[in-house]
Amino acid sequence: MAISLMEAYLIESLRQNYSYEQVAAQLENKDLSLFAEMKSDFSLLQQLFDTDKELFKEAYTTGYQVKFLTINGLKNILRMRFGIDEHQYELQEFGTYNVPANEETEKAIATLISSNWKIERNGETINIFV
């Protein structure tokens, strides 16, 4: 299941503070006031939830693939979802190199990147590139 990069950003920003159950309850009641302090427009997630609750649940709890992933999008997802900051790897025009990642993290990243991206293991790190 693929979602937009903006939907991924919104999910990752909520995951840091709220369980799926808390978020789903708010979306079910169409009450986004709990997230008002975050100063983001969560109407896109409301739309995703209203369109396909199971897709939303899977994206929030299990994972997702980003439909179109940019290099900046990759950089942000690495930080938001995996806690891997830009100073921990080499950022180049067409990819990230020497990203610290164990096998579990590598599999999770492989699941979420668009099909035009590739991953190569390089010892204790991975390279993610187009």
Per-residue pLDDT reduced to its tens digit, 20-31: 999 999 999 999
DSSP string, 83-104: ---GGGSEEETTEEEEEE--HH
pLDDT at 37: 87
The average pLDDT across 79-93 equals 96
Nearest CA-CA partner of 75 in 118, 38, 128 = 128
Question: Does the pLDDT of residue 38 top 90, yes or no?
Answer: no
pLDDT at 39: 85
Question: Does the pLDDT of residue 1 top 90, yes or no?
Answer: no
Helix (H) or strand (E) holding 65: strand 65-66
Residue 80 pLDDT level (bands cut at 50, 70, 90)? very high
Per-residue pLDDT reduced to its tens digit, 39-71: 888 999 999 999 999 999 999 999 999 999 999
Given strand 118-122, what is the order of strands in its sheet?
90-92, 95-100, 125-129, 118-122
